[in-house]
């Protein structure tokens, strides 16, 4: 089975892929996803900035209903999943969580991974980013 990333602009070209945000050259603010202007100052240009692979779970909830478009349900239809904010030090990233409910807790060390988002019409598996438990415990 072939697969592809949901949006190449969210990642760098490394293997495994890393999330890429942007950093303001004026004030140092980091954002994700990338954007062309700084949300905090008018002085700097935004440049690509690779984000850390691991962080800590800052907050979470259950996505109990299908999101609005452009969401596409996976094969078999929508099933509730957990989402949260992960603190990567310089920025909070909103993300899917690939963590069993009984393991989810605020402050949990987590690491970047990918999960299936949906399948294209030709059967290609489309992957999105998520965070799962960090086997190294955030060391």
CA distance linking residue 61 with residue 99, whole number of Å: 12
Q: Select the more confidently predicted residue: 76 or 52.
A: 52
- Predicted local confidence at residue 139, as pLDDT: 47
Q: How confident is the model at residue 109 (pLDDT cuts 50, 70, 90)?
A: very high
CA distance linking residue 64 with residue 94, whole number of Å: 16
- Report helix, strand or coil for 93: strand
Residues 96-120 have a mean pLDDT of: 95
User: Which residues does residue 93 pair with via DSSP β-bridges, in sequence order?
Assistant: 86
Tell me if the pTM is above 0.85: yes
Residues 44-48 have a mean pLDDT of: 92
- 99 contact partners, CB below 8 Å, separation of at least 6: 57, 82, 108, 110, 131, 132, 133
- Report helix, strand or coil for 25: coil
CA distance linking residue 83 with residue 63, whole number of Å: 6
Please report where in the chains the tokens 């239809």 appear, as a residue: 77
């Amino acid at each position: 089975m072939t697969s592809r990333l949901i949006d190449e602009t969210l990642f760098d070209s490394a293997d495994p892929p890393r999330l890429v945000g942007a950093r303001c050259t004026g004030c140092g603010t980091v954002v994700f996803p990338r954007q062309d202007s700084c949300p905090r100052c008018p002085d700097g240009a935004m440049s690509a900035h690779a984000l850390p692979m691991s962080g800590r779970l800052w907050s979470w909830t259950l996505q109990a209903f299908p999101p609005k478009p452009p969401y596409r349900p996976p094969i078999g239809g929508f099933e509730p999943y957990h989402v949260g904010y992960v603190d990567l030090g310089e920025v909070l990233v909103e993300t899917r969580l690939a963590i069993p409910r009984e393991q989810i807790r605020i402050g949990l060390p987590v690491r970047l991974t990918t999960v299936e988002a949906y399948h294209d019409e030709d059967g290609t598996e489309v992957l999105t980013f998520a965070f799962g438990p960090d086997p190294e415990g955030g060391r």
